[in-house]
Amino acid sequence: MSDKESISFAKREAMLPYGQQWLDESDIEAVVQVLKGSFITQGPMIEAFEKKVAQYVGASYAVAFTNGTAALHGACFAADIGPSDEVITTPITFIASSNCVLYQGGTPVFVDIDPQTYNIDPEQVEKHITNRTRAIIGVDFTGQPVQVERLKKLADQHKLVFIEDAAHSIGAEYAGIKVGKLADMTMFSFHPVKHVTTGEGGIIVTDNEIYYRKLLQFRNHGMTRDPLELKKNDGAWYYEMQHLGYNYRMTDLQAALGWSQMDKLDDFVERRRQIVHLYQSELAGLPGLILPVQAPETNSSWHLFVIRWAPEYFTASRKEIFDQFRELNIGVNVHYIPVYLQPYYEQLGYQKGLCPIAEQYYDTCLTLPLFPKMSNEDVMDVCKVVRLIYEKNRIRS
């Protein structure tokens, strides 16, 4: 059979996406109960959902937002980031991780990544701390926690706020401790491709009561009705706008879905780990195909499974390889374009070459499908296509 015939033979009937939610009847029923009740916006399910997330990770407080970006914006507000401040973060992330700094008038400082884990490199973080640095935003890329101990130590030494962008890593652990317990503030995302979903949604967990109260006001136009916080009190109806906040409130409908989904989180994470084990065992030993690794102190919740194609081993470009997967209905993706290469950031003065390891990573990375509803047959289909494309494009000595 020729390469072309082999490739054609491997094509699936329908596209397998790189990520997808998994909803069942209990999730639907939870939302229906809200629709039948008295509140569909700011009702009791929001607090119930917040408590469930906080209890799961062992945090004292949780504040839900419309989405993860809004939650990160809230964290930057709570951290008092302003126009004179710099915030150190990684370029290998979704643009929200640094846009939240811009929203507050601050300056993102991008530092390079660890070549093994693809997470932010603490040594580079330390080199870029100045008297203008206000915070560090570490991103748990693919679900693997950042080097929390080192980043928290740096933050404490320099009196910085450590924010963990854990959009990918709910259910993950660092040194046996759940992500969400170790940073000053931690953000989880509930977009449909994440571990659990609220449709759109995000949350900040923290042990700091001051941050908690600021977050509550920020998501609600900067308003408060708390008698203990009011400057004056004209009566039970009275409220005050004390900050310039935003309408970042989650609805009861979203919260009810998230509340139900949280019951399945551990099962979802376990299934993701099973799929990764299959990928690792089936794809090991192919020269030029670089599989992801975990640092020994982390237990990833595996939001993404990213492989890399070392260009010196292949005749095809990454774009050609990407297109070959898509032609066979394997919905690969690329995570991520270094943020500072976006046109808007280039207008701000950021230039190519800023983080060489991150740029090399971007040129060679490819994300394979990974979500709990995948069957073992789906996983083996992906592995079969990986091997076929590998053989089709590898340089033969």
Out of 1.10.10.60, 3.40.640.10, 3.30.70.270, 3.40.190.10, the CATH code matching 25-262 is 3.40.640.10
- Residue at token pair 């015939």: 5
Distances (CA, A) of 76 to 60, 81, 85: 19, 6, 11
pLDDT for 194 equals: 98
**What are the residue boundaries of the structural domains of the chain, listed by start?**
3-20+265-393, 25-262
pLDDT for 9 equals: 62
pLDDT for 10 equals: 74
CA distance 251 to 186: 21
pLDDT for 316 equals: 96
Span 95-137, pLDDT tens digits = 999 999 999 999 999 999 999 999 999 999 999 999 999 999 9
Low-confidence ranges of the chain (pLDDT < 50): 1
**This prediction's pTM:** 0.96
Span 239-278, pLDDT tens digits = 999 999 999 999 999 999 999 999 999 999 999 999 999 9
Q: For residue 198, what are the β-bridge partners?
A: none
Going by C-beta distance under 8 Å and a sequence separation of 6 or more, which residues neighbour residue 189? 67, 68, 71, 167, 168, 201, 202
Q: Could you write out the DSSP letters of every residue in 55-108?
A: HHHT-SEEEEESSHHHHHHHHHHHTT--TT-EEEE-SSS-THHHHHHHHTT-EE
Span 164-196, pLDDT tens digits = 999 999 999 999 999 999 999 999 999 999 999
Going by C-beta distance under 8 Å and a sequence separation of 6 or more, which residues neighbour residue 335? 92, 141, 142, 304, 306, 365, 367
Strand ranges across the sheet with 61-65: 61-65, 202-206, 185-189, 161-165, 133-139, 86-89, 107-110
- For residues 248 and 66, the answer to whether their CB atoms sit within 8 Å is yes
Two structure tokens written together for 28: 């639907």
- For residues 198 and 254, the answer to whether their CB atoms sit within 8 Å is yes
CA distance 172 to 146: 11
Homologous superfamily of 3-20+265-393 in CATH? Aspartate Aminotransferase, domain 1 (3.90.1150.10)
pLDDT for 359 equals: 98
The pairing of strands 161-165 and 185-189 is parallel
